[in-house]
A and B are shown apart, each in its own frame.
Chain A
Amino acid sequence: MLPVVEAPLHRIDAALAIDAPLTERWLVAFLRDELIERRRISKAVLGLSGGIDSAVVAYLCARALGPENVHAIRLPYRTSSPDSLRDAQRVVDALGINVDTIEITAAVEGYLQAAGDADPRRRGNVMARMRMLVLFDQSARLGALPIGTGNKTERLMGYFTWHADDTPPVNPIGDLYKTQVWALARHLGVPAELIDKPPSADLEANQTDESDLGVTYLTADRILAQILSGYRDEQIAAVGFDPREIALVRRRVEGTHWKRHLPTTALVSGTAINEFYLRPVDY
């Protein structure tokens, strides 16, 4: 009998594998080029939430620009978990970056008082937009560029506040799935407390991303990687994924294409911006 070697039926995780040192090198170079070479700005400012995404971005910025040129801002609301402040501080201490803490409670409550009752979803959006308002104002104060911290999974799932989390002009991790952000975090030396805790938008008490989304990040990423590679639902199910989870992920992706674009503008001329008049962002 000859030995039989079989190819795996499906290389599910190949699309999610990263060489973390290579990824770090590439993203650090990206940040240097985008800030220093293109915009002549040597400082970065970012909202440091205590979660893994902003921690990874803080590490990348510190390596690209030097810790003295990175300004982290903690933006707690009155219901924010104390753990978030503490975990953000772990990153600050580990990197030696600058940090400010600006409470957004008074600003958020001031608006909500004027606006009347708001459900948790609206309150969360107000908080996210308030944080971005502060971040941009602080960027003007500091002469620093705001850096985005959204990952590819939440961008694809539409799990973010439009024109809030996605607003900064530069984002080093927006093409990395959440599980890839975790892999990069481990390589960068992000404190284990941040890597091991359940991800949370921390807009409500005891909130977690995975309960909000209805699927784990690992499963979501594996399904997303296949959807983006062009596989149909039945092909994804054939390699062992739950059809309900496939449908959930696809529904979120297909229902949120608009969130990944600029506002829709009525085209009425042959010189419509970004339709006929086409110039790249760095031109």
Chain B
Amino acid sequence: MSFEVALVQFKPHKGDLDGNLAALRGVFAQLLAGPAPPPQLIVLPEAAMTGYFLEGGVYELSLPADVFAAKLDAQWRAAGGTSPVDIVCGFYENRDGTYHNSALYATLGGAGVRVVHVHRKMFLPTYGVFDEERFLTRGRHLDTFPTPLGAAAILICEDAWHSIMPTIAALKGARLIIIPSASPGRGLAGAGMLESVEHWRATVTLMASEHGVYVLYAGLTGFEGGKGMSGSTCIVSPRGELLASLDELAVAILRAPLDGAEIDLARATLPLLGDLSAVLPDLWYDEALPLPRIEVRDAARR
């Protein structure tokens, strides 16, 4: 079954939520205008409608997930979207006065907007140029959720730099990993590519091939006070092949059909995820691991 996805490498104007939503409406209109049929899933980067570095401005621009989804839905309908479409979009979330760097998976259009899942970023970078935990609270759960391609998980930016995150997502059934990101580009010594982008490419291709998952990486672009968001949006197959990509600075749409059968074939050819499932209990219940120990049931030790 083919699942058509479109990743939007977006360049927001800092803090201009309404202006950025209007620009997104233009993107929706382009996707609806054809000639290709509209995608089934649209993926936007982290903090796509506000820009990433907000500092204290985060408290002025955060929204509840359902309110943010309704704003996305209004743009889809204003662009002429009558049929349902799924969307992933990063945003700053106000959850009853607790603030998160979040990304939602929602269905827009059709009978009404529906928030399927909200992932709250778990690894908040707070070092060097980053200061997220000064303003935000980290998420506590990594969950999967249903999509037409099967179970999926969202990892926001640094979430994906910890290899245990896609590993756990895959163990929980994810066949698709979606990464909204806002990554300030750095390191000019690479051959034609920023060193930070080289790191990302290695990360996403390895996670895809190790677990037999599609990876959709949507990167923010544009400069924010001298810090250039490094774009480099890409789609990686379950075999770890880079199917399509954008450069750092393009403002563009990346499209591809995903095929669930490719996931099955990749996992049959390289059954690392199955192997991990078998060995995991021996690794996990190692007393030397720095994990809190609660009662271990005999059944889990089998």
Contact = CB atoms under 8 A, between A and B. Distances in A.
A14 B189 contact: yes
B228 A30 contact: yes
B55 A279 contact: yes
A21 interface: yes
A30 B222 CA distance: 8
Interface string A265-283: 0000000000001111111
Majority secondary structure of chain A interface residues (helix, strand, loop or mixed)? helix
Interface string A198-232: 00000000000000000000000000000000000
Interface string A25-37: 1100110011001
Contact of A22 (B14, B57, B193): B193
Given A282-B14, A283-B14, A26 B56 contact: no
B190 A283 contact: no
B190 A29 contact: no
A34 B189 contact: no
Contacts of B190: 19, 22
B189 A283 contact: no
Contacts of A278: 55-56
Contacts of B192: 19, 21-22
Contacts of B145: none
B37 interface: no
Interface in B8-56: 13-15, 51, 53-56
A19 B189 contact: yes
B226 A280 contact: no
Contacts, number: 66
A17 interface: yes
Question: How many interface residues does chain B have, given as a range?
Answer: 20 to 34
Contacts of B15: 283
Nearest to A170: B226
Tell which of B13, B189, B224 has the most Cβ of chain A within 10 Å.
B189
A139 to B, nearest CB: 19
A247 interface: no
Nearest to B194: A22
B134 to A, nearest CB: 8
Contacts of A34: 223, 226
B225 A26 contact: no
Contacts of A112: none
A18 interface: yes
A283 B15 CA distance: 6
Contacts of A283: 14-15, 54-55, 57
A218 to B, nearest CB: 17
B225 A281 contact: yes
B56 A279 contact: yes
B14 A29 contact: no
A167 interface: no
A23 interface: yes
A279 B57 contact: yes
Given A34-B223, A279-B55, A280-B54, A17 B189 contact: yes
A125 B298 CA distance: 77
Contacts of A277: 56
Contacts of A29: 223, 228, 249
Majority secondary structure of chain B interface residues (helix, strand, loop or mixed)? loop
Contacts of B249: 25, 29
Contact of B222 (A22, A37, A180): A37
A8 to B, nearest CB: 15
A33 B57 contact: no
Nearest to B13: A37
B136 to A, nearest CB: 13
B279 interface: no
A275 B14 CA distance: 21
B188 interface: yes
B158 to A, nearest CB: 19
A19 B191 contact: yes
Nearest to A183: B188
Contacts of A25: 249
Interface string B168-194: 000000000000000001001111111
Contacts of A21: 192
Given A21-B192, A30-B223, A34-B226, A280 B185 contact: no
Contact of A30 (B54, B55, B193, B226): B226
B189 A280 contact: no
A26 B197 CA distance: 13
Nearest to B249: A29
A281 B191 CA distance: 31
Tell which of A18, A26, A34 has the most Cβ of chain B within 10 Å.
A26
Question: Which 7 pairs from chain A and chain B are nearest by CB?
Answer: A33-B223, A278-B55, A17-B189, A18-B188, A281-B225, A278-B56, A282-B225
Given A33-B223, A282-B14, 18 more contacts: A19-B188, A22-B188, A25-B249, A26-B228, A26-B248, A30-B223, A30-B226, A277-B56, A279-B57, A280-B54, A280-B225, A281-B225, A281-B226, A282-B51, A282-B53, A283-B15, A283-B54, A283-B57
Interface of B: 13-15, 51, 53-57, 185, 188-194, 222-226, 228, 248-249
21 contacts: A14-B189, A15-B189, A17-B188, A18-B188, A18-B189, A19-B189, A19-B192, A22-B192, A22-B193, A22-B194, A26-B188, A26-B228, A30-B228, A34-B223, A277-B56, A278-B55, A278-B56, A280-B14, A280-B55, A282-B51, A283-B57
